[in-house]
Amino acid sequence: MTELPPVEYGVAVERYLAASGLAEGSRRIYRVALSTWAWALADRPAPTGPERRRARPPVLPLALLDHPDAAERLRAAVARRAADTDPRTLNRELSTLRAAVAWWRARGWIDGDPSAALRPSPLPEPAGAGAALTAEQLRALFARRAPLREQTLWHLLHESGGAIETVLALNTDQLDLPGRRTHPRSDRPRLHWGTGTARLLPLLIAGRSGGPLFLTDRRAPAGTPATDRCPHTGRARLSYRRAAELFTAHTRVLSEPGWTLRQLRAGR
């Protein structure tokens, strides 16, 4: 018997969480995040502080996500949340909403995606984040025993000078390995790289002919768009937030409080 689509937003949330494969603790965190957006769709401010977890969200139809005002209501909620929460928490809540919306759309429960135009908050960067890395610092960085994925990303960012968002959006089938460049596309700049990246890329993509170039360590959660999931491994596209966190963590041993990915491109 075919399962009928839910009418209420809260019921849709529970069905998404039940199919997510998440542990109970993670489902609880996701439930709080998705409940926060329910207040926004009802055009009401969400509770803050300790009351946020205990408050019962408004009961509203899932179809509100297809309302012409849904995107603007969510945008206003993002602005309010940005004033009383840290960027990492807000970005995590945005990612949770996007994953749920993608899952609901895949089942035909809603048509649109009011979260598509929402932009993550910029993450705070350590002091001195704008200073370009020196030749000595680069030598120390590339000499580190870091995972292949990280070394490839760092070399590619430095040698190509490409925007971090552009590099993380690359797919394996966009690479012209013999030419040390990406294939031409009208919607994004062409990237070129040097010997360090050329040495590492074939190792990174071995056995993969398509899907995101840089992948997470774990399988993609339920609802991840096909464009952000590797068809060979099932893992998701590496996010800017995670890539930035890993880079800073790896470089703390070289210089406190660690460096930022933008320093690989500074001055180029």
State residue 212 phi and psi, 5-degree precision: -55, 145
CA distance 12 to 33: 14
CA distance 166 to 265: 13
Give the CA dihedral 131, 132, 137, 142, nearest 10 degrees.
130
Q: Taking the model in full, what pTM does it have?
A: 0.56
pLDDT in tens, 167-212: 998 999 999 999 999 998 756 678 999 999 999 999 999 989 899 9
Query: What pLDDT score was predicted for residue 126?
Result: 46
**Tell me, what amino acid is at 107?**
R
What is the average per-residue pLDDT within 149-173?
92
Query: What pLDDT score was predicted for residue 2?
Result: 52
